């Protein structure tokens, strides 16, 4: 299976982000990629204005644009976007929360996964403005089951084990990782660990680091730190980007998953209990 990870920096406008992403997707499809993974917050980046003002359902401008593009290019696209959520009251404040969604779209598929684990860490509270989901999501691509996660989910091994128990041989993950001290080291450790936990390939496409030329490695909010990667089932990083925008196109051999799981049968009956 040939997959592409599009590491880029998106902005505040859905229309401009579609325009920016279109040639990247077209180039990846022309290079033979059939599954294309975009970053978290591809429709509107973090720290680019209120998310609720542009949140849309799956029939909105961004989701429809991605579906039309995927269909035209003959690929499946997984891309981070935001959908309307509930109302959250914090003291005297009333906030219109959104759902942090990974859109999965292409011919004969158009659905979303809502991020289960809110980024309530490192002095940031995503749950104030983001309503978390509760359902695992998988889809089929070229005869294989693919699981979906988003960014901070990577810190929760049970989710990846549950996706593997549902048959996922590849888990794709739109991401906008916060930069700062030790954050890249943590990212590398976590992606390798989740590959080992699940015996699956992990393919994570991240937002590139804004101002990567001068600020790479400095502390930031969840606006991206690059380092998109593909990790094989034994935890080896077979491709990794740096801080700057970059496209990774990687051939993966899913038979490695079967070989790994036979040698290291971690998916016991106990672990095959579905997570809800």
Residue of 40, 56, 126, 240 marked catalytic? 40
The C-alpha atoms of residue 227 and residue 217 are separated, in whole angstroms, by 11
Check if 229 is active-site. no
3-class secondary structure for 15-73?
HHHHHHHHHHHHHHHHCCCCEEECCCCCCCCCCCCCCCCCCCCCCCHHHHHHHHHHHHH
- What's the distance, CA 41 to chain centroid? 9
The C-alpha atoms of residue 130 and residue 152 are separated, in whole angstroms, by 13
User: How far is CA 269 from each of CA 65, 164, 266, 273, rounded to the nearest angstrom?
Assistant: 42, 12, 9, 7
Check if 158 is active-site. no
Residue of 115, 161, 169, 240 marked catalytic? 115
Residue of 56, 76, 126, 151 marked catalytic? 151
- What's the distance, CA 268 to chain centroid? 27
The C-alpha atoms of residue 149 and residue 116 are separated, in whole angstroms, by 8
Check if 151 is active-site. yes
- Compute how many other C-beta atoms are within 10 angstroms of the C-beta atom of residue 131: 19
Active centre residues (catalytic) = 40, 115, 151
């Amino acid at each position: 299976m040939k997959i592409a990870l599009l590491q880029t920096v998106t902005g505040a406008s859905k229309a401009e982000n579609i325009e920016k992403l279109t040639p990247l997707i077209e180039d990846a499809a022309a290079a033979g990629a059939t599954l294309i993974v975009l970053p978290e917050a591809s429709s509107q980046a973090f720290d680019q204005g209120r998310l609720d003002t542009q949140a849309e359902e799956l029939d909105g401008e961004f989701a429809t644009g991605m579906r039309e593009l995927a269909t035209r290019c003959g690929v499946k696209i997984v891309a981070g976007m935001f959908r309307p959520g509930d109302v959250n009251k914090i003291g005297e404040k009333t906030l219109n929360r959104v759902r942090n969604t990974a859109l999965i779209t292409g011919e004969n598929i158009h659905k979303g996964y809502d991020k289960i684990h809110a980024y309530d860490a490192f002095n940031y509270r995503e749950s104030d403005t983001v309503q978390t989901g509760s359902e695992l999501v998988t889809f089929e691509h070229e005869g294989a089951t693919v699981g979906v996660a988003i960014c901070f989910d990577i810190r929760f091994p049970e989710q990846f084990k549950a996706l593997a128990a549902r048959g996922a041989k590849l888990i794709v993950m739109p991401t906008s990782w916060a930069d700062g001290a030790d954050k890249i080291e943590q990212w590398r450790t976590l992606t390798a660990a989740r590959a080992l936990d699940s015996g699956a390939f992990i393919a994570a496409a991240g937002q590139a680091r804004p101002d990567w030329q001068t600020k790479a490695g400095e502390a930031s909010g969840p606006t991206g730190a690059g380092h998109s990667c593909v990790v094989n089932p034994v935890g080896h990083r077979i491709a990794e980007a740096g801080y700057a925008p970059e496209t990774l196109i990687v051939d993966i051999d899913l038979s490695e998953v079967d070989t790994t799981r036979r040698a290291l049968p971690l998916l016991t009956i106990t672990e095959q209990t579905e997570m809800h």
